[in-house]
Structure formats: structure tokens, C-alpha cells
Amino acid sequence: MKKILVCLKQVPNTRDVKINPENHTLVREGVESVLNPFDDCALEEALKLKKKYGFSVTVMTMGPPQAEKILEYSFRRGADEAFLLTDRHLAGSDTWATATAVVGLAKKGGYDLLFCGQESIDSGTGHIGASIAEMMNIPQVNYAEKVLGLHENRIRIQAKFDKFDAQLEVVTPVVVSFLKKGFEVKLKAIDESVISERIKRVTLADLNLLPEQVGLEGSYTQVVNIDIDERFVGYVTVDSNLSANERILYITTGGITENENKKIIRDLSQESIEEIASLIM
Amino acid sequence: MSAQKTKLKFDRLFSEFSIKNLHLKNRIVFLPHYTAYAEVTSLPSEEETYYYTERAKGGTGLIITGNYAVSKVGQMHRTFINASDRRCITNFSKTVNNCHKYGAKIIGQLSHAGATKVELPRASLYAPSQVLEKSTGSYTTAIAKDEIGQVVKEFGTAAETLVMSGFDGVEVKVAHDGILRIFVSPYYNKRNDEYGGSFENKMRIIHEVFTEIRSKLTENMVLGVRLSADEFEDDGFNLETGVQVAKYMADNKLVDYISCDAGTWNTFIMQIPPMTIPLGFGEYIAAAIKKVVDIPVIAFGRINDPIQAEQILENGSADLIGMARQLLCDPEWANKSKKGMVDDIRKCIGCEEGCIGQVFLMQPIKCIQNPAAGKEKKLGIGTLKKAEIKKKIVIAGGGVAGLKFAEISAKRGHEVVLFEKEKTLGGQINILKSIPFRNEYSEVVRYLEFILKEFPNVTIKAGVAANSENITSEKPDALLIATGAVSYIPDTVQNSKAVTSWDVLENKVDIGKSILVYDPLSHNEGVGIVEYLFDTYKNINIRYITPQNDICANAKNENKDILLRKLLQEDLEIIPYYGLVSADDKAVSFNKAFTDKMMTIEDSSFDNFIYTGSLKSVDDLYWKFKEDGGVSEVYRLGDAKAPADVEIAIHEAEALARSI
């Protein structure tokens, strides 16, 4: 049985991004956090493999204790095991330091497949998957859309690039970074009373990492300044240059074009509320 | 769902605010609309006073009444109040005093019908130029300069009535109907004189009207505008012009606030957005105007939730939250929101059946969910009293009728036991909601189900079908049969491909490529199933046959626009005037109305035959208890009485439950 590790990140809801003017880092206090939608797609792909081949799915995230929320959600989605990498020395880690910590954990488990989101909605660097692969000296596939198939130690992946789609075959172990797409979230009924206990909490010491390898000290990049893009508003804006019919169509679809595979949820029934909650989780 | 209560605080929504010197206790505004409550003499009625007072009682900060005509010619119909008549002052003053008593401020809205009238025939449609008024297919009268002067004076005279009645301000409509917006519109205004051509010229009448009104107002009164910022018509103006108008009015100090609006009578779905239009769609319009003006802006557009309202204020898109239909549906929205009781709010679903669907028939405005709307004196806040004799009431059926009956009975202190054969309450709403954009109908059930959970005297037995044994063993004093209806295929149809629309919606049918839909009613169900099929299956074609004159011929006018806007894009052939004669496994035959002409469709030419819109009551238990006795009071409601709309079920349930 092969083992999959899915790397998850808790991100602030981009609707209310606030930046600490002193150190130019994200203010996470008082801001609702959600699972990075790219990572959710990586998790979805992993769970599909679990269903098809019976693989085990382990999820991990790095962050404060509140990040448990996304691990609990992963259990409800069907993950088997979850690690929370939490240590005060990790604060301020850039992508290099973050990848260092993830690799520390990944090496312990001997995973065949390491799945990540292509990027996160709060920083969008796209560094993590690539860095993990380089540090571990294993192959990587970026901009993955889905896993097409698997044969012994070879995995076939469909990836989407600017001008073409590619079907790539690589040898495991491999790091695959997935793009964001729409899918139906299915939650499983599980024993909620022990859900928190199932999360395995690990610190730097458990991974044989030194404090200076991570955090601000272990980071190469420093954010000097961030400007908020004013286009980030919590509502659909309509382009006045569109024809009247197109403007109306744009409004009726909530700004979603036919090519986007998103679901519009309109009512306030309990089912829908739960569905929305699971989507923004 | 557990009955846990969500307690939320809406700091922005309940912060105080001032429009010029007009102090408001919160940010909630009841937007002006046509109520058709006027008396035959076009004077304000008692109903109107009670209607607005109810919203003030419910905690609304600002009430804007309307749409008052400035003259007889300026009336869209006689059911519009003619504010030039000084006899209005008596009832206007009562309304104003009542609203003030409950801490609300009140502004009166004035308009001149111009090219938009609902009376028939549509005489004297005044417009800047002579054009075809597209929504009604009538030609307009190009207004002369002296007539413009007359209209300006009429606005002043009508404003005086509002001043004398004690209103806190006046609002003028440059909105979806009336004469002023169409002076800005490139379609209507093709004049070459000082009222047409340049932007300043097009704005001249607006400038004159607002200046005239301002001269009549006392110093503390505010003057505002309801502004349609995007006509959503190809030959109309768009948001760029709308924003320009707003900026012009603010910069020239013509107004103290701007209340946003969109659409025209040709783009009715933007004017009064149905449930197809997403909640809060108009926020970007308010935000665009807010960016260029330094006076308060009122947001609009399917706002029905305090969380959504708070978010709009937090986004800085507007200063005030405007709602009309939501406060029609639940006048206590503000008080409930203030207490954080968000789940207790009965939310407007944008069905347009009771409100706009009624007033366009020149009937008093009402609400399918709120029987008290327009009947506040009889059914409004504080009128529901505990029953003198406490009874045990058994209800068979947890659809809309049964649930509403249970709510009122529970509030009156009766002991209620409700049987529902399905595990989920709601009856046919659960089938209906799978049609695209009909999801919000489930709010009707959500609300009732939530309220019932608060009552210890209510027992709901979901998943248990009522029968004579379990009803009898409850020993009820009163029994309500609300067991709904079933869809069926009449005996004339012997085609083995024939299924009902319920079968399709419940996923019991394999759908092929070519589909025949027969709809004897041409009501909401037939058009709904067609919409559902196109939305669910790709590359299908549908032949829709009806003895009526069109698809959705008997649906409310206000919803047709959006339905046809979607359906006419599809591979749909509409065959009107044909009634079904017979159907077997060889062919289906139809007869053309008033003729001997027949049309035969071979069985091989279609994959599915959907017979839609035929329902019959499930009323066995009613007849059993009615005839055999055993329970002293036996009643029936909803589709068990006769298949009909949600409105009938709810309104009859309220009336009946109040009488027991």
C-alpha cells in the first residue's frame, strides 16, 4: 500500500486581508481562516486514490493550534492520519524555511506521493512543492489537474500549462502540486468526540530540526512592503462596457462564466448552510 | 438541525446616522414602493397607515413611503395616491405621527408617471420625445416646454402636501418608472431644445424639479433621490451615466442622499429582482456611486439578511441598507436583527407572487409568506392571542400548510402533534427546489421548522405517516388533514414513455435527447420542468405543447421575463393552442383549439413524454374522519384541499388556525 502526504495551509479569507504595518506580515488574529482551496484540490485527488487503490492519506499542516480546524476537516473528508507541526520557532518562516520543516516531517514517513496545492491564495508564491522536491532530490510535477493512473512505481498526471495540456509520467516518490478547480465536497460522518485527539502534534525537536533552520532566522526572503489590490472586494462588480444582456447574464450567474465549474448556492436551507460551511472551511 | 440560537451583533447596522439634520437610530431603510392601498379617490387609506406603522414598530430606522403621484396625470393608476390633493394630509399625518411614535423617521416619495402607466388604455404617456414605450407597446406623447413647467410646479405643490403632513423629507424618483429618468435616457430623449442633447440639458428638468421642491421644504427637511443607475437596456444608459447623474446631483447640492436603484420597465428583473438574481447583487452599484459623492448612499438589491447588510456597510459600499420586500415579508427584521435572532427572521425569497405580482393587477400588495402584510390591523404585531380553550390538535402532513397551521396553533397555546410521512419536512417544496433558481423556496420551510422548535407544546413525528390508528390514539380535539397532493397521468395517456414532472425531478427517469412536454396548465410547473431539463442535461431538444397561448402563460408576468430570457436560448420549440386528445405507444395526438385540425407526433420521434401539471389531492383521511366521525373538528388545508400555490396554503392556514 502506497502512502500519500498532503500538505495543507490555513489561509485568511482573502476578503478581509489585513497587513501588520510594522513587519509587513499578515494579521491572522480576528480574521476568519479557511483551507487554501488549492490544497483542498490536492486533498481531493489524494482521497480519490485512496478510494481507487486503498492508499493511506496523511495530511499535515504547520501553524498555531487553531490550524487544527483544517486537519479536523480533513478527517471528515476521509483522511487517515494528521500531523500538526507547531513550534513557536516556526513563526515568520518564508517558503524556504517552511519547506525545510515539511521535508523534516516528510522524511520520517517514507511517503510515495507528496501532494501540495500549486499556490496559496494569501501569498501565491508557488514555491513549496518545488522546494520540497529539490530538498528531497525527487521529481516534481507542477500545475497538475488530476491523476490519470498509476502502475507500480509510475504515476501518470495531467497538467495544464498556458498553451497546452500535458500528460506526464513520473517515477515515485514524487511531489505533485495541484491547481484549483471545482468539485463536490463530500463529508463523512465520523466520531467527532475523538477527532481532536487523533491529531498528532509534533515539534521541531521531534523532527531533529534546529530552531535556526526555520523561522525568521532560517528564512532568505523578507517582505519589505505589501500593497493591497483594491480590486479585492466582497461582491461581484459588473463591467459597464458589456452589452445590457451580458450585464444581466453576468449578474444572474453571480459573475461565474460557463467555463468555470463552480456551484452557485442560493438558499438558506440547513443543507446549503452546511455545504457552504464545508466549502469555506 | 439543533434548535441552537445564533446570537450575533451588528454594530454597523445598529449605529446611529444622520442625513443632514435628520437623525436615524439605525441604518435600516424601508424602500418606497407601490402598494395599491389607495382608496378609490386616490387618497391614502387606513391600510396604508397600518402598513407603515407596522414597519416602524418592527424597529426600522427610516421609512420612505411612496410612490406618490404629483398630479392626476402623473398617476400610474388611480390606486396611486395623488399627493397634490390636500385631503391626503389627514391620513398622511396619522402615518407620520405613528412612525415617529415608534422612533422611525419618515420620508415621502414623489413621482410623475411620465411614460409608465399601468392603467388601460394607456393615455397620455408623457416623455421627452415620441417613442414606442417598449414594455407596453404604446406610443408616448412628446412633452411641450410649457407642460414641463407645469410638471415642475406640480412637484412643488405635491411637496407642500408632504410638508404640511409633517414628513421628515421628500424623495423624488429618477428611477425605473416616471418622467425624470427618461430625460436622461438616450432612447427617450431625442430633443433638440434646452432639455435635450448635452448632459447638462438632459439634467435640466431634474435640476428644476429639485430646486422647486427645495424651495418648498422647511430647513430641517431632507431631499433625496431614488436613482436608477443602470437601465440595463441596449439603447439605454449604463452605470457610467448613472454615476455621472449621481455626482451632478450631489455636486450641485440638489439632494441630501442618494438611494440606489437599477433597471426600467423593460428590464423588470433588474428593477424588482426575482430569486434568479443573486442576493445583494446591487452592492457594486451603490459602491460605485458612493465613491464619487460625499452624501449618504442607500444600498439596494435583494438584501434580506443582517449578516449581508453588515458586510455591505463594512465594505464601505453604502451608508444605509435599503429593503422593501424583506420588510414586507418580516416587518420585525430590524428588532430581530438587533437581538441577534438571525434565524428567527422570515426571509423574502424573491418569488414576486404576492407583492409585485399583485400590484400589477392593481390589487393591494401582499406577501405569500406573511399573511399580515396589508392586513396589519387584523393580523399584525400583537394581534395573535392565546386561545381561550386549549386544544389538542393533530396535523397530518408537514408541508407548508401543515407547518404554518402548526406555527399559529402553537403560538396560540394549543398542543400540536404533527405527522409527516417523509423524514424531511416541507412536502412539495423538496421537489420544487431541485429546479434551477427555485432553491430559495426552501426558506419557507426553514423558517417554519425553526420557529416550531421553540415551542415545547409541539411534537413533530417526521418519518411517520398519519393513519386512522395513530390519529385516533392521540385523541385530538381537532384534526387537520394537510397531506398534500400527488402528480398523476390521466387515463387518456396510454403511452409507456409518459412520466410526470415529479418523476423527472426525483431522478426516476432516464432522459434521452428528444423530449415531449405536455402542459395543460402553462403555469409555473411546466416552465420549471423545461428549465430543469435544459439545466441538467446537455444537447437535448424539447417540444413543449400546451392548449394555452404560450409557455408560462399563467405564471405571474413578473417572472416571465427571466424565464424566457433563459429558455429562448435553448433548443426549445413552443407549440401553443394544442390540447392532448390521446396518447398510445404509436403516437400522441393533439387538437388545435377552436378547430378540427389535428397534430400527431409519432412515438419514435421522442425519447421521453413528460405530462406535467396534473395534481390531485390526497384527502382519504379527511373523508374518512369527516364521514366516520371520531374527532369533533376536522379540517383540510393546502393541496389536500385543492392543489394550489404556497400563498394559498399559508394564508388559509393562518386564517384557519386563528379561528380554532
Tell me how crowded residue A231 is: count the other CB atoms within 10 A of its CB: 6
- In this structure, are A106 and A195 located in the same domain? yes
Residues A128 and A250 in one domain: no
How many C-beta atoms surround the C-beta of residue B561 within 10 A?
18
Of A263-267, B94-98, B397-401, B624-628, minimum mean pLDDT range: A263-267
Cβ distance B281 to A251 less than 8 Å, yes or no, reads: yes
Do A45 and A155 fall into the same domain? yes
Residues of chain B neighbouring A14 (CB-CB closer than 8 A): none
- pLDDT bracket for residue B1 (50, 70, 90): very low
Q: How far apart are the first and last CA of chain B?
A: 30
Which helix (H) or strand (E) segment holds residue A12: the answer is strand A10-12
Q: Which three-class secondary structure string do you get for B232-248?
A: CCCCCCCHHHHHHHHHH
In angstroms, the CA B406 to CA B403 distance is 5
Q: Say yes or no to pLDDT of B362 above 80.
A: yes
- ∠ CA B314-B317-B323, nearest 5°, is 95
Q: Which of A235, A249, A264 would best serve as a mutation to test chain B binding (most B beta carbons within 10 A)?
A: A235
Best mutation target among B187, B267, B284 (most A Cβ atoms within 10 Å) is B284
DSSP assignment of B320-355 equals EEEESHHHHH-TTHHHHHHTT-GGG--------TTT
Q: Are residues A44 and A164 in the same domain?
A: yes
Q: Which residue of A has its CA nearest to B285?
A: A237
Q: Which residues contact B435 (CB under 8 A, 6 or more apart)?
A: B505, B528, B529, B531, B532
Question: Does the pLDDT at position B135 exceed 90?
Answer: no
B283-297, B400-414, B544-558: range with lowest mean pLDDT: B544-558
DSSP class of residue B149? H
Is A77 contained in some domain?
yes
Is there a domain that residue A142 lies in?
A: yes
What's the CATH code of the domain at A166?
3.40.50.620
Say yes or no: A20 and A69 in one domain: yes
- Do A176 and A269 lie in a common domain? no
Q: Where are the beta strands (DSSP E) in A86-190?
A: 113-117, 140-151, 154-160, 165-171, 174-178
On whether residue A123 sits in a domain, the answer given is yes
Q: How far is A274 from chain B (nearest CA, A)?
A: 10
Residue A196 CB burial class (10 angstroms; 0-12, 13-18, ≥19): exposed
* CB half-sphere exposure, A179, CA atoms < 13 A: 15
Nearest to B352 by CA among B33, B587, B13, B12: B33
Angstroms from A32 CA to nearest CA on chain B: 14
Read off the pLDDT of each residue in B498-504 and give the average, rounded to a whole number.
95
Greatest alpha-carbon pair distance for chain B in Å reads 83
Cell reading at B617: 389531492
Rounded distance between C-alpha atoms, residue B53 and residue B103, angstroms: 10
Torsional sign, CA B279, B281, B285, B288: positive
Gap between the Cα atoms of B381 and B55, Å rounded: 10
Give how far B290 is from chain A: nearest CA, Å. 14
Q: Is A223 a domain residue? A: no
Is residue B544 over pLDDT 90? yes
pLDDT band at B40 (very low <50, low <70, confident <90, very high): confident
Give the pLDDT score at B4.
46
Distance from the A22 Cα atom to the nearest Cα atom in chain B, whole angstroms? 24
For residues B458-462, average pLDDT: 97
Same domain, A121 and A65: yes
Does A236 sit within 8 Å of B278, measured CB to CB? yes
Query: What is the pTM for the complete model shown?
Result: 0.76
| Every domain of chain B and the residues it spans | 17-379, 392-486+618-659, 498-613
**Higher-confidence position of B366 and A272:** B366
**Residue A218 included in any domain:** no
Whether the CA torsion B237, B240, B244, B246 is positive or negative: it is positive
User: Chain B partners of A236 at a C-beta cutoff of 8 Å?
Assistant: 278, 281, 284
Residues A14 and A137 in one domain: yes
Weakest mean pLDDT among A120-129, B50-59, B447-456, B638-647: A120-129
| pLDDT over 80 (residue B8) | no
Q: Write down the CATH number for the domain with range B17-379.
A: 3.20.20.70
Q: Cis bond leading into B121, ω under 30°?
A: yes
Residue B297: other Cβ atoms inside 10 A: 26
Q: What would the grid cell of residue B376 be?
A: 396589519
| Chain A residues closer than 8 Å to B239 by CB | 238, 240
| Superfamily in which the B498-613 domain is placed by CATH | FAD/NAD(P)-binding domain (3.50.50.60)
Q: Is residue A172 part of a domain?
A: yes
Q: How far is CA A179 from CA A45, A116, B111, in A?
A: 11, 9, 54
How far, in Å, CA of A190 to CA of A55, rounded?
A: 19
What is chain B's mean pLDDT, rounded? Answer: 94
- Residue bearing the bigger pLDDT, B567 or B58: B58
Q: Name chain B contacts of A268, Cβ cutoff 8 Å.
A: 305, 347, 440, 442-443, 446
| DSSP-derived 3-state class of residue B174 | strand
Helix (H) or strand (E) holding B223: strand B222-228
Please give the grid coordinates belonging to residue B377.
390591523
Do A128 and A55 lie in one domain? The reply is yes
* pLDDT of residue B2 exceeding 50: no
Encoded amino acid at B325, one letter: R
- Domain ranges, residue A193: 3-213
Measure CA of the first residue to CA of the last residue in chain A; give whole Å: 30
Residue-wise pLDDT tens digits, A17-37: 566 666 666 666 666 678 998
Going by the DSSP 8-state scheme, the letter that residue B6 receives in this structure is: P
Percent of chain B at pLDDT above 90? 84
Mean pLDDT score, A109-124: 91
A143 belongs to a structural domain: yes
Same domain, A180 and A251: no
Interface test with B, best of A31, A32, A240 (most B CBs within 10 A): A240
In tens, the pLDDT along A187-202 reads: 888 888 888 899 999 9
CB B379 within 8 A of CB B54: no
**Claim to verify: residue A140 and residue A21 sit in the same structural domain:** yes
Mean pLDDT estimate for chain A: 84
Q: What is the ipTM of this complex?
A: 0.84
Q: What pLDDT shows up at residue B490?
A: 94
DSSP state of A218: T
A228: in domain: no
Instruction: Tell me if the domain spanning B392-486+618-659 has CATH number 3.40.140.10.
Output: no
A169: left (phi over 0), alpha (psi -120 to 50) or beta: beta
